[in-house]
Amino acid sequence: MSWIISDREYNKEKIESNGNKYLLANGYMGYRGTLEEYTKEQYTGCILAGLYDQVDGKWREPVNSPNGMYVKIYCDGESLTVLDNNLQEHNQSLDIKYALVQRNTIFAKKDNQVTIKSERFLSVDDVHLLCLKYSFTTTKNCKITIETGIDGDVWDINGPHLREINSGVTDDILSLKAVTNELQKQIVIAEIVEFDYGQQSIEQTTDKIFRKIELDAAAGAAYEFIKYVAVYTDNDKKSDLTQACLETLTGSSELGYAKCLARHKMIWAARWAKADIVIEGDPEAQLALRYSIYHLLAAAPTHTDSLSIPARGLSSQVYKGAIFWDTELYMLPFFIYTNPEIARNIVNYRINTLAGARRKAKEYGYRGAYYAWESQDTGDDACTHFNITDVFTGRPMRTYFRDKQIHISADVVYGIWNYYHVTGDFSILFEGGAEVILECARFYYSYSYFNRDTGNYEILDVTGPDEYHERVNNNAYTNLMAKYVVGVAIKVLGILKIENQQVYETLFEELDYGTDYVNICDYYENLYIPEPDSDTQIIEQFDSYFKLEDISIDELKGAMLESNEYLGGANGLATRTQILKQADVVLMLNLFKNMYSTQVKRANWEYYEPRTEHGSSLSSCVYAMQAAHLQKTDYAYKYFMKTATIDLTGDYKQYVGDLFIGGTHLASNGGAWLAAIFGFAGLELFEDKLQFKPSLPAGWKSMKFNLQIKGKALGVEITDDQIRVTAQGSLKVEV
């Protein structure tokens, strides 16, 4: 049972959260876990990765494709839908081993019972393909009408994005074409249905095309149809999108549903063979961790070499479908250690959007590369200056996420360097990685201020990971990350000089880096890094943080007037206090654990933990990792479970102000993997060796997983009294 997520009854209140919980995705698109009869009112959505649109000056966001999976059944003229009262039984499940959603629903119509079953998947064999198997039986003879087709009236947060919607029928294939507003990208969606009963007619309106299949259903007989849906857009670089849809549909139909499913399952099985973590002794944690890994695998871009993963994956248009630092810090490590090919695609995305980062740096008057806080297809920033609306006044609030969260460029460098460090793949440096790193180093130098009195560089006016405190000076995380970037830049130049003199010289010349090199070396030596207090060992999160009011989270929450009110910004309740939104100093200590003593790490964990609101889904996993590292295993487990179950329980913030932020939480999903591997298994990779310092939670008899390090496949098994590592080739391992 550790692979099945299910609900045994219907709950209208869960329409939105079940859309996330039962999400299917294949990297190309995400299809929400809604039911076939749902429409846009129930947030049905088929989100297309990497295709963005803007309309009427509203927020730019990913496009939802017309819905080709729509099906509604009518019995004696009356529609059967879970939204009406004639529901007798309902269950829905997701098999995370094979990314397969099933439903089973019984409707009672007077003395007739109609049972509907469906099964669907988004193929990973052909990422343009959605497949549905749908069947029904009735207990009485009755007239059944099946309404199925393509619904172009889609759910949008900031739409509508589709215009020039046109439908057509060719050889019993229904299709709908549309064009996006801003970039005029074409989308074509087509479907075929295989059935062998009843009479069919076609109905078309401006934005829908449906087939109606009418039949006299015989009591007790089972009726089934198979539906194949294909989606292509101009991003696929095909000369004829309609033709591409036809090829996918005819190819799949010739193969048949069972074989399409078998191919899909085979690929998922191979994915799990690389990525699974097997926990013996704790089925609840096992399911939650696998569910987290499922979401990462489902969102992974495999069909192209330069797409990344948005903060909410492919679950909705929330957060503008934007890529944040969430990807590099929280999701990417999973791919680096289990599937380096996908990791490389994700890293390439940042290399390919360097031009956008340069534009942003220039816009603010800096040099080098300042990556977008919310990045989309071009790397330009989708984050607005007024990103949150005040719940009290209804007015947009000035926020400084876009302007001041400068740690984003360092997070990007962290992603590239981590990829290189773990995989040993030099080519990333030659093929754009080094340029990004050098440009980011240049950015930090140009942003910083040299304090003549102290002889140190300082970084003023920034927002660290804790977004409740904007525009602060010398945020410890930001400063240390800036130093790290510059250190990496210096190392990279050293590596290039030895490994590829020509790339080194060209880069140096093209970037005109001579003076910059001298500057960044000086910066590296003299950048101010907040130190632990000699008495308490606590590192101040930013200048004067300790002077802020020191209240408890309960006190702060008690003072709230609205459950959705924003706690940061100019007037937020947390702004003038020491309450932080998410791990900040503790995150820094976790990334640089070897630079600090256990005493420092412990003191800071204990100081910041009661002051952290965990208002971001990026927080708990960091506290889990550090707690495991400090042998606080009970705390580690508590925070791990909070992270790993976030999309199962649906227990998360849906709104900030009036901003809808629901959807799946890919950073938390990645965080669950991080907490398991770097927390409980205690993995650490040094230049020349691998180390495991496990602290398994009570009840975990063993933990088993596979990794890929420096091109070598590794199997690891940890029990209470043993660590067994099997590796191809040789690797130095320490415990």
Q: Name the one range near ligand BGC by CB under 6 A: 15-23, 318-326, 422-430, 508-516.
A: 318-326
Q: Which helix (H) or strand (E) holds 636?
A: helix 633-644
Q: What are the angstrom distances between the C-alpha of 546 and each of 478, 500, 537, 540, 549?
A: 18, 48, 13, 7, 8
d(CA 282, CA 633): 15
Shortest gap between Cβ of 568 and ligand BGC (angstroms)? 9
* 652 forms part of the interface with ligand BGC (CB under 6 A): no
* 102 forms part of the interface with ligand BGC (CB under 6 A): no
SS3 of residue 492 by DSSP: helix
* 579 forms part of the interface with ligand BGC (CB under 6 A): no
Active site residues: 467
Contact yes or no for 655/12 (Cβ under 8 A):
no
d(CA 626, CA 671): 12
* Phi, psi of 137, deg, nearest 5: -140, 155
Q: Which residues contact 496 (CB under 8 A, 6 or more apart)?
A: 429, 430, 434, 503, 504, 507
Shortest gap between Cβ of 693 and ligand BGC (angstroms)? 28
Nearer to ligand BGC, 193 or 667 (CB): 667
Nearer to ligand BGC, 261 or 618 (CB): 618
Nearer to ligand BGC, 20 or 42 (CB): 20
Nearer to ligand BGC, 316 or 616 (CB): 616
d(CA 472, CA 584): 13
Shortest gap between Cβ of 538 and ligand BGC (angstroms)? 22
Q: Name the one range near ligand BGC by CB under 6 A: 91-99, 132-140, 320-328, 363-371.
A: 320-328
Contact yes or no for 368/441 (Cβ under 8 A):
yes
Nearer to ligand BGC, 428 or 556 (CB): 556
Tokens 């398994």 belong to residue? 696
* 705 forms part of the interface with ligand BGC (CB under 6 A): no
308-332: buried (b, 16+ CB within 10 Å) or exposed (e) per residue?
bbbbbbbbbbbbbbbbbbbbbbbbb
Q: Name the one range near ligand BGC by CB under 6 A: 57-65, 244-252, 319-327, 493-501.
A: 319-327
Nearer to ligand BGC, 580 or 600 (CB): 580
Shortest gap between Cβ of 618 and ligand BGC (angstroms)? 5
Contact yes or no for 199/215 (Cβ under 8 A):
yes
CB atoms within 10 A of CB 720: 9
d(CA 559, CA 551): 11
Shortest gap between Cβ of 414 and ligand BGC (angstroms)? 14
SS3 of residue 605 by DSSP: helix
449-488 residues in contact with ligand BGC (CB under 6 A) are: 465, 467
Pairing of strands 456-458, 655-656: unpaired
Shortest gap between Cβ of 99 and ligand BGC (angstroms)? 23
* 326 forms part of the interface with ligand BGC (CB under 6 A): yes
371-410 residues in contact with ligand BGC (CB under 6 A) are: none
Nearer to ligand BGC, 181 or 654 (CB): 654
* 614 forms part of the interface with ligand BGC (CB under 6 A): no
297-316 residues in contact with ligand BGC (CB under 6 A) are: 311
Q: Name the one range near ligand BGC by CB under 6 A: 62-70, 128-136, 323-331, 492-500.
A: 323-331
User: What long-range pairs does 61-64 form, CB within 8 A, spacing at least 24?
Assistant: 61/156, 61/157, 61/158, 61/159, 61/161, 61/317, 61/320, 61/321, 62/310, 62/317, 62/320, 62/321, 63/161, 63/162, 63/180, 63/187, 64/154, 64/155, 64/156, 64/159, 64/161, 64/317
d(CA 255, CA 126): 12
492-511 residues in contact with ligand BGC (CB under 6 A) are: none
Q: Which residues contact 352 (CB under 8 A, 6 or more apart)?
A: 306, 379, 432
* 587 forms part of the interface with ligand BGC (CB under 6 A): no
* 325 forms part of the interface with ligand BGC (CB under 6 A): yes
Nearer to ligand BGC, 311 or 343 (CB): 311
Q: What are the angstrom distances between the C-alpha of 1 and each of 114, 267, 280?
A: 28, 21, 13
* 616 forms part of the interface with ligand BGC (CB under 6 A): yes
536-555 residues in contact with ligand BGC (CB under 6 A) are: none
* 37 forms part of the interface with ligand BGC (CB under 6 A): no
Contact characters 665-694, ligand BGC, x per CB under 6 A: --x---------------------------
Nearer to ligand BGC, 339 or 664 (CB): 664
Strand locations in 57-161 (E): 61-64, 67-75, 78-80, 87-95, 100-109, 112-122, 129-138, 142-151
* 582 forms part of the interface with ligand BGC (CB under 6 A): yes
Among 120, 290, 344, 581, binds ligand BGC (CB under 6 A): 581
Q: Name the one range near ligand BGC by CB under 6 A: 108-116, 324-332, 472-480, 557-565.
A: 324-332
| Chain-centre distance for alpha carbon 685 | 25
Structure tokens at 603: 């003191």
* 706 forms part of the interface with ligand BGC (CB under 6 A): no
Shortest gap between Cβ of 646 and ligand BGC (angstroms)? 12
* 288 forms part of the interface with ligand BGC (CB under 6 A): no
d(CA 734, CA 169): 65
Of the candidates 308, 581, 604, which has an alpha carbon nearest to the alpha carbon of residue 463?
A: 581
Nearer to ligand BGC, 325 or 700 (CB): 325
d(CA 115, CA 84): 15
Shortest gap between Cβ of 420 and ligand BGC (angstroms)? 23
* 324 forms part of the interface with ligand BGC (CB under 6 A): yes
SS3 of residue 123 by DSSP: coil
618-637 residues in contact with ligand BGC (CB under 6 A) are: 618
- Using CB under 6 A as the criterion, which residues of the chain lie in contact with ligand BGC when the complex forms? 311, 319, 324-326, 465, 467, 581-582, 616, 618, 667
